[in-house]
Amino acid sequence: MTIGEALSGAREYLSEAGIDGWLLQDYRGSNPILWNLIGGVRHITRPCWFMVPTDGDPTLLAHEVDAGRFDSMVESAGTDGVRVQVRRFGSRSQMLDELREMLSGRQRIAMEYSPEAALPRVSRIDAGTVELVRSLGAEVVSSGDVLQYSTERWTPGQRDSHRVAMEGLVRTVHDAFAFIGENINWKLTEHDVAEFIRGRFERLGLVAPDGPIVAVDAHASDPHYEPGPDTSAVVRKNSLVLIDLWAVSAEPGSVFGDITWTGFTGEPGSRHEEVFRAVAEARDTAVTFMQDAFAEGRELEGWEVDRTARDVIAKSGYADYFVHRLGHSIGFEVHSNGVNLDDWETHDTRKLIPGIAVSVEPGIYLPEFGIRSEIDVFLGEHGPEVTGEVQQQIVRIEV
């Protein structure tokens, strides 16, 4: 998405929401949302501000020593049809005067602020900065929805890049289970399997900043377990194996895919099957809930989807073992800045809007093993769409 497209989306949302502008502020990388909007600018050492009004040109306010570093951004925006007004300040009093003028006549201003820090991905601005903007006469409201509307919706090209990532992930997870079966008699470890997956990614042109998770039996009870070369368990016969893998195409501007599958080296026991059925039912109920809401023309907030799936797991008797949110935003980061499916860790009231994607990944984590099933859902113009293969049963790994 170009800066022109992002700013157009921001203005559209601000106008519909009755907000007079979006004021982004950063100090030494404290607010990545700003750079997602305007592009990366290196080595900014003083506070900088970027004002997106409901109408009119955006305004950049930067310190004298940093202002020249924004020249390429301003030029790039110009080629995209966006004229950025540049203001400079030296002293703090000059900065306040410029801010006061930028905010003049504007009553409601969106910032990366979340009341009581309820949404950590949104809560990027410190309390003192919020106090400062309020002292200049503006009411500060959360930018949670405007930021996802402007920076988290996928372009058609990004949608294609996600498809590439998902095809590679699904292929790799099946190959990994086959690799386990072929090598289980050679004291294969979780780390060995993770190395196999990383090698597959390299050959497929996929990039992962960390991971993957390969977890056997009790290790699968830790949702973020990651095997190290000296701490890994050996993959033995009659063991449950959970694999969580995520990656992005190496092409610039691509977006992530993220999936989790579970296999068993032999024949799963009745408890494994029972837990998997509960997880799969919660996953599928969440997707149906989103699809039904779309068909009815009803907007959903992130917490509602989490609650729907969580109720399914509670009815199965495993409520105490579902210890994380249902899903997260997927975009330029595997855990991106859009709405999360969350009524557990937070109460996410942001809207599920067309053009964004989320994971749906319920899990049950017993002391002896854990099972999670993760899929990705893109909210397209025709409704919520699962973007990859859906696991229907525990994979039987031939040994």
Q: What is the DSSP letter of 355?
A: T
pLDDT at 227 over 80: yes
pLDDT > 80? residue 1: no
Sign of CA dihedral 335, 339, 340, 344: positive
- Dump pLDDT digits (tens) for 4-53: 888 889 999 999 999 999 999 999 999 999 999 998 899 999 999 999 99
- Give Cα separations from 27 to 31, 134, 310, 385 (angstroms): 7, 19, 39, 38
Q: pTM value?
A: 0.94
Four-CA torsion 156, 159, 161, 166, nearest 10 degrees: -160
pLDDT (0 to 100) of residue 130: 97
Q: What gap in Å lies between CA 366 and CA 331, rounded to an integer? A: 31
Three-state DSSP at 189 gives strand
Give the per-residue pLDDT at 311.
98
How much of the chain exceeds pLDDT 70, in percent? 100
The 3-state DSSP class for residue 59 equals: strand
> What is d(CA 116, CA 135) in angstroms, rounded to the nearest whole number?
19
* Beta strand 370-372 pairing with 206-207: unpaired
- Phi/psi at 32 (nearest 5 deg)? -65, -15
Q: Which helix (H) or strand (E) holds 386?
A: strand 383-386
Crossing angle for the helix pair 3-17 and 71-79, to the nearest 10 degrees: 80
pLDDT band with cut points at 50, 70 and 90 for residue 78: confident
pLDDT at res. 166: 98
pLDDT digits (tens, 9 = 90+) for 158-217: 999 999 999 999 999 999 999 999 999 999 999 999 999 999 999 999 999 999 999 999
pLDDT in tens, 369-390: 999 999 999 999 999 999 999 9
CA dist., res. 37 & res. 24, Å (int) = 10
> pLDDT digits over 293-330, tens only?
999 999 999 999 999 999 999 999 999 999 999 999 99
pLDDT per position as a tens digit, 114-140: 999 999 999 999 999 999 999 999 999
Indicate the domain borders of the chain.
3-151, 156-396
Whether residue 133 contacts residue 125, with contact meaning beta carbons closer than 8 Å, is answered with no
Among 301, 307, 347, 339, smallest CA distance to 326 is for: 307
Q: Do domains 3-151 and 156-396 have the same CATH topology?
A: no
pLDDT-derived band at 56 (thresholds 50, 70, 90) equals confident
How far is the C-alpha of 318 from the C-alpha of 118, rounded, in Å?
26
pLDDT the model gives residue 111: 98
Domain 3-151 matching CATH 3.40.350.10: the answer reads: yes
Q: Which CATH superfamily is domain 156-396 in?
A: Creatinase/methionine aminopeptidase superfamily (3.90.230.10)
Average pLDDT for residues 251-265, to the nearest whole number?
A: 96
Residue 363 has pLDDT above 90, yes or no: yes
Q: 80 burial class (0-12, 13-18, 19+ CB within 10 angstroms)?
A: middle
